[in-house]
Structure formats: structure tokens, C-alpha cells
């Protein structure tokens, strides 16, 4: 990539500021359900996240099953933040609702389908800087690394946005996993930029029994964290249950990831 110099991704300065999603010497694990289904479901899973000693929880509030007008998922997010002191990550799907969602959460997630939605990226850039939010930018499943880094430029238009890249699998000819997890993206990104990068093994493989080995691999290859779908009753999950770790698997994943993290002298948070 010979236009590296033009890409303003050199943001290591301040990487250990307390409000940044990725902190030096830590592997950040974000865990939670694909979608916020009900108060009971979200609260039960929040307890698992808290018991595991994690700081960040995920949960989609704008899923097709959630009415765009009710904001119920967002209300639950506020309650869980109050009850358990967890920081919250949720996806933003259109420019009009970014500001509203940002009032409730700590981290705005941009999904694979929206990596090239430049109107959304520009709005997120503005809101993230005004409201001091971090942003997770998932890789478009057909995007090259160069296109992904150029999307970061849109997010950086309004200031020094705390952008964290997330590799979540790309589309290949291989059907035995949902997508193909491009683990080489981690060292490539580390070579081209100083942006932090996390891995989403759940959407990449699409099957819970493959999530633990790929989580381990993600840490081994140098990822700064993971975003993982978990559920206390995966069989009853309304969405993506087949890839969600149950509570026993979640603990096992954390145990193994902690072991790998130690190799790099890092702790889990």
C-alpha cells in the first residue's frame, strides 16, 4: 500500500487514556448476545459478563425484530449500565439515529454491511467526537484492507476518533464456516497502521464449537481483543444462537484466552 503516508491512522498517542476501548497491556473482551431480546434475557447475560470480570457488554438494539420506535433495547442498556457498571457496545445502522443511540452507550459499532456507508461514517465521526465515544469499525465482508483503512478516514474527519478495527470474516468460496476469518489481517493492520484491532470469531465461523479455537488464535496472532456472542440459553436465542457460547463455554474461552494473553504479558479486561 503506497499511500500509507496519506492515511491518518497513526493514533498510538493516548492509547492508554482511561476512556479508550483498547488499553495498553490489556486484552479487551466484549461479550453479550447478538440481540437484546427481553429484559430477562439481557439481565441474565449481563450477570454472566459481570461474574466473568469483564467490563464491556455487547447487544444489538436495532435488530429487525426490534421496533425502531420503541427504543426498548436502549432502555435496558441504561438499566444494565446502572446495575452492573458495564460499558456498552451497540451497533448503529443509520445516520438519523446515531445521536440518540450515543446517549445510551459507550461504544458505537459499525457493522460489516455498513463499512462503506459513508453518510453513516461521517455522522458517527461527528457524534463520537462530540460525545467522546469509541467506535468499532467492522470490516466489510468483501472489503480489502486498504478499503477498510480508507473507511477509517471518514471516521476521522471530525477529530481524533477512537477507532478500533474488527475483523469478522470475509466471504470466500469456503462454505464450511459462515465466513472465512482472515487472521492475517491482524499483522497486516499492525504493519500498515497503529490502529488497534479486535476479532469477532462468532460471526466469522458461525458455529459455537469453533469460536474457542479461533479466539485463541486471534490472541496468538496479536489481536487487541475479541467481541464474542454469548447467551445463557443459545437454543432459545432469537438470533445467531448457533454461534453463541453458553456460560460454560464462555468461561472456558476466557480461561484459554487468558492463558494466551499471558504470553504477551497482557491481562484480560
Closer residue to ligand PEP, CB minimum distance, 60 or 196: 60
Query: Three-state DSSP class for 200?
Result: coil
Site string for Mn ion, 31-60 (x = CB under 5 A): ---x--------------------------
Should residue 112 be labelled a site residue for ligand PEP when binding is judged by CB under 6 A? yes
Should residue 168 be labelled a site residue for ligand PEP when binding is judged by CB under 6 A? yes
CA pseudo-torsion sign 247, 217, 213, 173: positive
Q: Which helix (H) or strand (E) holds 217?
A: helix 208-220
Phi, psi of 197 (to 5 degrees): -140, 135
The nearest distance, CB 200 to Mn ion, in angstroms, is: 9
Which range, of 4-12, 136-144, 153-161, 239-247, touches Mn ion by CB under 5 A?
239-247
Beta strands in the chain (DSSP E): 26-32, 56-58, 87-91, 107-110, 134-138, 162-167, 197-199, 225-229, 267-268
Which range, of 37-45, 170-178, 180-188, 238-246, touches Mn ion by CB under 5 A?
238-246
Question: Among Mn ion, ligand PEP, none, what binds residue 33 when CB lies within 5 to 8 Å by partner kind?
Answer: none
Q: In terms of Cα–Cα distance, which of 152, 178, 266, 256 is closest to 212?
A: 256
Should residue 133 be labelled a site residue for ligand PEP when binding is judged by CB under 6 A? no
Report the half-sphere exposure of 103 (CA within 13 A, side-chain side): 7
Whole-angstrom distance, CA of residue 5 vs CA of residue 124: 24
Neighbours of 69 (CB within 10 A): 6
Determine the size of the site formed for Mn ion (CB under 5 A).
2
Question: Among ligand PEP, Mn ion, none, what binds residue 138 when CB lies within 5 to 8 Å by partner kind?
Answer: ligand PEP
Residue from the set 27, 31, 34, 261 that interacts with ligand PEP by CB under 6 A = 34
Closer residue to ligand PEP, CB minimum distance, 162 or 167: 167
Should residue 240 be labelled a site residue for Mn ion when binding is judged by CB under 5 A? yes
Query: Three-state DSSP class for 112?
Result: helix
Should residue 200 be labelled a site residue for Mn ion when binding is judged by CB under 5 A? no
Distances from the Cα of 48 to the Cα of 106, 169, 205, angstroms: 19, 26, 23
Should residue 11 be labelled a site residue for ligand PEP when binding is judged by CB under 6 A? no
Whole-angstrom distance, CA of residue 112 vs CA of residue 93: 10
Question: Among ligand PEP, Mn ion, none, what binds residue 112 when CB lies within 5 to 8 Å by partner kind?
Answer: ligand PEP
Closer residue to ligand PEP, CB minimum distance, 11 or 58: 58
Residue from the set 32, 111, 196, 201 that interacts with ligand PEP by CB under 6 A = 111
CA 64 from centroid of its chain's CA atoms: 19
Q: Which residues bind Mn ion (CB under 5 A)?
A: 34, 240
Q: Which residues bind ligand PEP (CB under 6 A)?
A: 34, 60, 91, 111-112, 138, 168, 200, 203
Amino acid at each position: 500500500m503506497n499511500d500509507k503516508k496519506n492515511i491518518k491512522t497513526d493514533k498510538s498517542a493516548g492509547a492508554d487514556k482511561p476512556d479508550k476501548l483498547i488499553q495498553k497491556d490489556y486484552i479487551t473482551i466484549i461479550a453479550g448476545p447478538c440481540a437484546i431480546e427481553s429484559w430477562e434475557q439481557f439481565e441474565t447475560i449481563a450477570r454472566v459478563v459481570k461474574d466473568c470480570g469483564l467490563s464491556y457488554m455487547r447487544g444489538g438494539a436495532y435488530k429487525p425484530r426490534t421496533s425502531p420506535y420503541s427504543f426498548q433495547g436502549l432502555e435496558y442498556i441504561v438499566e444494565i449500565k446502572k446495575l452492573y457498571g458495564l460499558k456498552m457496545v451497540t451497533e448503529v445502522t443509520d445516520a438519523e439515529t446515531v445521536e440518540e443511540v450515543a446517549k445510551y452507550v459507550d461504544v458505537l459499532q459499525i457493522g460489516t454491511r455498513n463499512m462503506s456507508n459513508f453518510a453513516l461514517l461521517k455522522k458517527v465521526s461527528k457524534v463520537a467526537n462530540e460525545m467522546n465515544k469509541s467506535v468499532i469499525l467492522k470490516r466489510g465482508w468483501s472489503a480489502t484492507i486498504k478499503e477498510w483503512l480508507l473507511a477509517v478516514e471518514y471516521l476521522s474527519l471530525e477529530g481524533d476518533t477512537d477507532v478500533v478495527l474488527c475483523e469478522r470474516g470475509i466471504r470466500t468460496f469456503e462454505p464450511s464456516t459462515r465466513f472465512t476469518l482472515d487472521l492475517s489481517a491482524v499483522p497486516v493492520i499492525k504493519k500498515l497502521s497503529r490502529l488497534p484491532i479486535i476479532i469477532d470469531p462468532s460471526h466469522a465461523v458461525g458455529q459455537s464449537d469453533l469460536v474457542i479455537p479461533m479466539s485463541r488464535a486471534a490472541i496468538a496472532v496479536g489481536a487487541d481483543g475479541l467481541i464474542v456472542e454469548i447467551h445463557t440459553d443459545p437454543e432459545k436465542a432469537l438470533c445467531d444462537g448457533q454461534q453463541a457460547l453458553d456460560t460454560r463455554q464462555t468461561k472456558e474461552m476466557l480461561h484459554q484466552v487468558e492463558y494466551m494473553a499471558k504470553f504477551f504479558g497482557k491481562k484480560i479486561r
